Structure 1
Amino acid sequence: MTLALQPVADPAAPLARRNPVAKLGAALLFTLPLIATLDPLTPALALLVEMLVLPFFGVRLGVLARRAAPLLPAAAGILITMVLFAAERDGTLLVSLGPVDVTTGVLTTTGALIMRVFAVALPGIVVFATTDPTDLADALVQNTRAPARFAIGALAAFRLVPLLGEEWRSLSLARRARGIDAGRNPVAKLRLFGSTAFALLVGALRRGVRLAVAMDARGFDSDVPRTHARRQHFTRADAVLLIAAFLTAAAIITVSVTLNVFRPVTG
Structure 2
Amino acid sequence: MTAVNPAIPVNPVIPVNPVARLGATLLLALCLVLTIDWVSASVALVLELVVFVFIRMPARQFWLRTLPVWVAAPLTGVTIALYGRTEGTVFFEFAFARVSEGSITLAIATVLRVLAIGLPAVVLFVTIDPTELADGLAQRLRLPARFVLGALAGMRLISLFLDDWRSLELARRARGVADSGRIRRLAGQAFALFVLSIRRGSTLATAMEARGFGADVQRTWARESPWGAREWLVMAAGLSIGLVAIVAAVASGRWNFIVGP
Residue 126 in structure 1 maps to residue 119 in structure 2: no
- Give the 5 Å matches for 1:22-61: 22-61=20-59
Q: 1:82 to 1:241 in 2, by over 3 A?
A: closer
The equivalent residue for 2:98 is 101
How far is the alpha carbon of 1:219 from its aligned partner? Answer: 1.0
Task: Return the TM-score normalized by structure 2.
Answer: 0.80
Structure of higher CA gyration radius: 2
- Say if 2:70 and 2:115, in contact at 8 Å, map to a contact too: no
Give the C-alpha shift of residue 111 in structure 1: 2.6
Letter in 2 for 1:132: D
Q: Cα distance 1:248–1:85, how it changes in 2: closer, same or farther (>3 A)?
A: closer
Closer, same or farther: CA 99–127 of 1 in aligned 2, 3 Å: closer
Aligned length: 251
Scaled by the length of structure 1, what TM-score is found? 0.78
8 Å Cα contact 2:32-2:41 kept in structure 1: yes
The separation in 2 between residues aligned to 1:199 and 1:46, in whole angstroms, is 45
**Distance between the aligned counterparts of 2:61 and 2:180, measured in 1?**
33
Deviation at 1:125, TM superposition (A): 1.5
Aligned counterpart, 1:136: 133
Q: Give the secondary structure class of the aligned counterpart of 1:14.
A: coil
Distance 1:200 1:76 in 2: 33
Report the 3-state secondary structure (helix = DSSP H, G, I; strand = E; otherwise coil) of the residue aligned with 2:37. Answer: coil
8 Å contact from structure 2 (residues 66, 122) kept in 1: yes
Letter in 1 for 2:249: S
Q: C-alpha root-mean-square deviation of aligned residues, in Å? A: 2.9
**Structure 1's 171 and 120: CA in aligned 2 closer, same or farther, altered over 3 A?**
farther
Deviations 1:141-186 (A, max 9, x none): 222222222222222222222333344444455556513545xxxx
User: Partner of 2:63: helix, strand, or coil?
Assistant: helix
Deviates more, 1:48-57 or 1:20-29: 48-57
Residue 112 (structure 2) pairs with residue 115 (structure 1)? yes
Match of 2:237 among 244, 255, 261: 244
Q: CA deviation at 1:49?
A: 2.0
CA deviation profile, 1:85-144 (whole Å, cap 9, x unmatched) = 33x222444444566332343222223223322322222222221322111111222222
Query: 1:11 Cα shift?
Result: 8.7
2:3 aligned residue: none
Uncovered stretches (5+) of structure 1, i.e. residues with no partner: 1-9, 183-187
Q: Which residue of 1 aligns with 2:200?
A: 207
Query: Aligned pair 1:65/2:58, yes or no?
Result: no
The equivalent residue for 2:5 is none
Aligned mates of 1:208, 1:127 — CA distance in 2? 29
CA gap 1:94/1:76 in 2 versus in 1, 3 angstroms: same
